[in-house]
Chains A and B, each alone.
Chain A
Amino acid sequence: MRYQLEGSQAIAKAVALCRPKVVCAYPITPQTHVVEGIGEVVRSGELSDCKFINVESEMAALSVAIGSQATGVRSYTATSSQGLLYMMEAVYNASGLELPIVMTLGNRAIGSPINIWNDHSDAMAGRDSGWIMLFAETNQEALDLHIQAFKIAEKIGLPVMVCVDGFILTHAYEPVDIPSQKEVDAFLPSYVPTVSLDIHKPLAIGTMVSPEYFMEVRYLAHQKQIDALQVICCIGEEFKKQFGRNSGGLLSEYKTEDAEVIVVTLGSIAGTIKDVIDDLNSRGKKFGVISIVSYRPFPADALKDSLKRAKMVIVVEKAFAVGIGGILSHEIELIMKDTEVEVFSIIAGLGGRSITKPMLQEYFLRKKYEKATFLGLKKKIIADKYEVRSCSNQEGSV
């Protein structure tokens, strides 16, 4: 059934359809509507046998989920930005304990300065935490990815973070197709934990590990992430087969078959980029778009396979490593370093700054790219601050 829904509501519906037993919530913009929505379905009785807990911090939110998941029930929470940082210790802990928790990250900038609008700084802060991180491009994808997320998490035995652009998706109304409970039940079997707190088989979960064994534990975590690539693909295929939508997998490719320039990005901005390149391609350019669905595990091989056909790669990224530059672009450079393919980075949309079609179009049509560009940077402000320095171009480079 198709509904005109706010992205957060769509996510809430998706999570409810997955029948979690414990949902914990601590409000932070822009994630609030998601947990409000789930709270509503639990309290209204629509989702039975689920405990909805209002906790006192993000640290508690994920900790509660750790406790409930370790007790053998499907558990969910959501956060954004500072909230992710505040719970970061638990984020690493959940993956270390191999607990298949699903968490929505309503992507938002990180302060200071405080800023409630969208970028990917929060997700990038958690990129080495050992979680599986999936990025949604649309509200439909957000909904679909949540359903897949539980299955992926439970299959591989790792937590999954579904990244959804704050406001741009969370607060945007779009028509979404909501599958029936029956369909979701058919796709997602009930959760059977591998290990859990069980009075009949008392295990200790969460041991201390000495230097003698720590390397092995970490290597196994690394291997597990790599193994997850296959699982994500398979489950994406399964989902497509059952629901008819190609909303999972590792990558979402658009017109890359004969593209000379491939624009790579994460999340909702892919839609805008697609509009821009449609226009460019209609004028004889050969652009393609890849939006990465599975950011972690990083689909290095799949990405390389697609990118090596192109001459150039432009990475549009909403976060960067201060003093270094783009994060995603660096990762792509790394995998493409033995090819002729050139990688350029556009750092854009920080703290909710609009990324408009004209801005992108102007950039794509340039004769020559800077290695990295801060798109739409206000030159005067920077020049006032650094009088002695001159900005080489309007946007400012790294």
Chain B
Amino acid sequence: MTKPFATVLEASTSLNNKTGSWRTKRPEYVQSASPCNVVCPAGEDIRLWLALVKAGKFYEAWKIITKDNPFPAAMGRICYHTCEKICNRESFDGAVNISAIERSIGDMAIDQAWGFENVTVNSGKNVLVVGGGPSGLAAAYFLRMLGHDVTVYENHLKAGGMMRYGVPRYRLSRCVLDAEIKRIENIGVKIVCQKKITDINAEIDDFDAIYLAMGAHKASQTGVEIKNKPNIIDAVDLFKKVEDDFTNFLNLGNRVFVYGGGNTAIDAARTALRLGASVKIIYRRTIHQMPAHTAEVNEALAEGIEILCLRTISCIDGSKVFVNKMNYDEEYDILTPSGKTEILHADSVIFAIGQSVDVNVLHGAKNIKISEKGTIEIDKNMTTGIPSVFAGGDVVSEKRTVTNAIGHAKKAAGCIDAYLRNTTPPLDIRSEVTNLKKLNVAYFKKSAKITAPEWQNISFEERNISYSKKELMTEASRCFSCGSCFHCDNCYGYCPDNAITKRANGDLEINYNYCKGCGICATECPCGAIKMVSND
């Protein structure tokens, strides 16, 4: 007796039946941008470095951060983390605490003295960076990593720009800032402090390219009438004085008023508080309309700073501050003087109503155009009217954040490098954003955000401390990995046709011989990394 015909079959002979021919749509693995990456002015690949942190690969994570930002420790502290506001996890159970993780990784790098890799290739080109603030230093770093010689001219006593002279030290420890600047110097960037350029034309011939990043350090003019030598200080000057002469405690007196509603006003008020004053902020609109970040406003209130809203200062006469009370019509969003006034008594008044760019340095360079708003005009490649002169950071933008400045630096460095090598500047391509709709959050369990521990004292010491390694990994593991496969294996495990192949290294590949195009893989992908496309 022999094996029966047809009714008995060997195992797995169905592999001869290529069911892929049934398909009308086909799945494809895609990597689309995460919202955090898209909104990050520095363009950090947050999703990637969070994945590395989650895996306990802290050094690798730091390397990824510093590809886009040489100041993780500083930025983790002071960046306004738009990434967290747009984080897809926000509506689920609270955004990933990206800034705290970045800061902790940055601190770890300082503790463990991680440095940038030495630059091995040298282009022989010489670039001047005017201004040692975040944009200038970051540009210097990027340019140096690209192989160019870089010199930074810094006007102030120390490099750091607004990171030093705009952000009080209780928000950013100077040890941290110094360490991160030092790391840039370590790769061969020359920083020359207290070097004030008077005429940019004089430098053009000495350098192959120039990046203008002087920032906006000039206090804006106010319409306040000043009489009888009152004690008035501009916030920019206050910070500079406190910073350059920290040990010599500045005395503002007891009654201090801060005029303004932005972050600078809050920082100035909290600095004054730390100098021993009783501080009140005067702001002309309502508290909800303050441009300052809410978190900072709340912190200021918590520290005992009073905010006097719907008030403008008309005149300061000696210690008398004349204030006009305003009416706000919520329906029409109109602010009108109420006719009521009050007189306050101040030992000092700090003006914090904005800064502008000091354009005197550009007087000789006629081709560099200044906009009506007082910023330097640049083209899409960050170039001014002079081909070898580029500009970025606060000098070109009214969106004056440190992250934005770093983002400019990265882009400018790419453009300068292209200019020096006579190549095309890198294109700024951003793929489709992975919004919440593209995710399948059924695979994520609710887990509350880990808040970084805080000190409650009011001093120039930092309030926050870093995460432990365990906290770091746990918090990083909350990342949805929007738009990028994190090897959850759902597609592999759920395919009813076993049409996804898993390689030895865990990589997945769609086997179109058998894929029937049902789309389960795409639906069950937690992070939107599979797309169904028409089967042309």
CB distance from B173 to the nearest CB of A (A): 67
A209–B11 Cα distance when bound, in Å, is: 16
CB distance from A11 to the nearest CB of B (A): 26
Contact partner, A207, options B2, B3, B6, B11, Cβ 8 Å: B6
- Check if A217 sits within 8 Å of B1, measured CB to CB: no
A45 within 8 A of B: no
CB distance from B4 to the nearest CB of A (A): 5
- Check if B1 sits within 8 Å of A207, measured CB to CB: no
Contact partner, B11, options A97, A203, A213, Cβ 8 Å: A203
- Check if B9 sits within 8 Å of A203, measured CB to CB: yes
Give the size of the chain B interface in residues (CB under 8 angstroms): 11
- Check if A217 sits within 8 Å of B3, measured CB to CB: no
Can you list, as one digit per residue, whether each of B1-28 has a CB less than 8 Å from chain A (1) or not (0)? 1111111111100000000000000000
A155–B7 Cα distance when bound, in Å, is: 19
- Chain B residues with Cβ below 8 Å from A220 are 4-5
- Check if A156 sits within 8 Å of B9, measured CB to CB: no
- Check if A205 sits within 8 Å of B8, measured CB to CB: yes
A391–B218 Cα distance when bound, in Å, is: 132
A96 within 8 A of B: yes
Look across to chain A and name the residue whose beta carbon is closest to the beta carbon of B10.
Answer: A203
- Check if B1 sits within 8 Å of A155, measured CB to CB: yes
- Check if B7 sits within 8 Å of A98, measured CB to CB: yes
- Check if A194 sits within 8 Å of B3, measured CB to CB: yes
- Check if A202 sits within 8 Å of B3, measured CB to CB: no
A195 within 8 A of B: yes
A381 within 8 A of B: no
Knowing A202-B11, A203-B11, A204-B11, the reply to whether A98 touches B4 (Cβ < 8 A) is yes
Look across to chain B and name the residue whose beta carbon is closest to the beta carbon of A156.
Answer: B1
- Check if B3 sits within 8 Å of A195, measured CB to CB: yes
A206 within 8 A of B: yes
- Chain B residues with Cβ below 8 Å from A207 are 6-9
- Chain A residues with Cβ below 8 Å from B1 are 98, 155-157, 194
- Chain A residues with Cβ below 8 Å from B4 are 97-98, 157, 195, 220
Q: Which of A204, A209, A216 has the most CB of B within 10 A?
A: A204
Can you list, as one digit per residue, whether each of A190-212 has a CB less than 8 Å from chain B (1) or not (0)? 00001100000011111101000
CB distance from A334 to the nearest CB of B (A): 29
A204–B13 Cα distance when bound, in Å, is: 10
- Check if A209 sits within 8 Å of B3, measured CB to CB: no
CB distance from A163 to the nearest CB of B (A): 24
Can you list, as one digit per residue, whether each of A217-229 has a CB less than 8 Å from chain B (1) or not (0)? 1001000000000
Look across to chain B and name the residue whose beta carbon is closest to the beta carbon of A155.
Answer: B1
- Check if B11 sits within 8 Å of A217, measured CB to CB: no
A195–B5 Cα distance when bound, in Å, is: 12
Knowing A156-B1, A194-B1, A194-B2, the reply to whether A217 touches B10 (Cβ < 8 A) is no
Knowing A155-B1, A156-B1, the reply to whether A96 touches B10 (Cβ < 8 A) is no
Task: List A residues 135-190 near B (Cβ within 8 Å).
Answer: 155-157
- Chain B residues with Cβ below 8 Å from A155 are 1
Look across to chain B and name the residue whose beta carbon is closest to the beta carbon of A204.
Answer: B9
- Check if A205 sits within 8 Å of B7, measured CB to CB: yes
Look across to chain B and name the residue whose beta carbon is closest to the beta carbon of A158.
Answer: B1
A204–B7 Cα distance when bound, in Å, is: 8
CB distance from A67 to the nearest CB of B (A): 15
A194–B8 Cα distance when bound, in Å, is: 11
The list of the 4 closest CB pairs from A to B, nearest first, reads A157-B1, A202-B11, A204-B9, A194-B1
